[in-house]
Homo-oligomer: A and B are copies of this chain.
Amino acid sequence: DFLYALENDIKPAFGPTSELLDQYQCRGITIWGDHVRHIIDQGKLLINQAKSPSAAGLVTVLLEGAPNAGKTALAAHIAKVSDFPFIKVCSSEEMVGFSETAKCLSIKKYFDDAYRSPLSCILVDNIERLLDYGPIGPRYSNLTLQVLLVLLKKEPPKGRKLLVICTSSTRSILEELGMVSAFTTILHVPNIRQVDEIVNVLENSDVFSNDDINQIKKEIGQRRLSVGIKKLLGLLDLVDQAELKDRPRKFINILQEQKRFVEQGN
């Protein structure tokens, strides 16, 4: 496993990091509401803190939210915006089938490489997958947990600067594991919940006419939803296969079938 890892961990599957960052936001970043703006602004502030020569050398941020909320795309966006000379993505996608040890050594390598660059950014995607978290048991890789707990606290060598951007959809688990307190800052990535926010997304797609959108707006009415941007874009793909005239109906139906309408206050 060890050799297997060593040979593989440096070759991202599909081209260099910048391509990967683009792929993570392949459907762009729709500014569907204030939350999105806020996260992007905070990202810029953290980039500055990481660059500041008088501040500590390590800045760590956790982007946490429900599955499909758009965490990875936003993390990739911030990483790209930083324009640091060293940017790497550390993701379980690159480590499928790695042994615990191989995973840990691979993670360590990302940080060791970063320590050698004056200004670095590491995107650690989906921490719970790196931890091999399995809800029945529950189970997790304690080896990886220890490695992350150490690396998220270890200052880079004198004069080196490191910004670590992590994503996770299981914040409560990270809290139990004593990991949340290791972060400098925590940003919540919310689901879309307001009809206006939905409309912003629909207007950005080619699936509906303006009339359709108005119809949908009326149908939703005062009801609150909760749907991640990735899920929403997927639903639009499905609806896109239906006849033009059936689409608004079908869209509302699927939202209902998938129980996306929530009691107010949730």
Contact = CB atoms under 8 A, between A and B. Distances in A.
Contacts of A67: 181-182
A185 B45 CA distance: 39
Contact of A134 (B101, B145, B185): B145
B101 A97 contact: yes
A126 to B, nearest CB: 8
A105 interface: yes
A134 B139 contact: no
Given A101-B1, A142-B139, A177-B134, A150 B52 contact: no
Contact of A154 (B93, B99, B136, B143): B93
A136 B142 CA distance: 9
B101 A45 contact: no
A56 interface: yes
Assembly stoichiometry (copies): 6
A223 to B, nearest CB: 22
A23 B158 contact: yes
A99 B139 CA distance: 19
A147 interface: yes
A93 B178 contact: no
Question: Interface size bucket, A side?
Answer: 35 or more
A155 B140 CA distance: 25
A206 B169 CA distance: 38
A220 interface: no
B101 A99 contact: yes
Contacts of A173: 136
Interface string A16-55: 0000000100110000000000000000010011001011
28 contacts: A13-B157, A14-B157, A23-B157, A23-B158, A27-B56, A45-B241, A52-B240, A54-B237, A54-B240, A55-B237, A67-B181, A67-B182, A93-B150, A96-B151, A97-B104, A99-B101, A129-B146, A129-B149, A129-B150, A132-B143, A134-B145, A135-B176, A135-B177, A136-B138, A136-B140, A136-B176, A137-B142, A184-B234
Given A26-B155, A52-B240, 11 more contacts: A13-B115, A23-B158, A45-B238, A55-B237, A55-B238, A97-B101, A132-B142, A134-B142, A135-B177, A136-B176, A137-B142
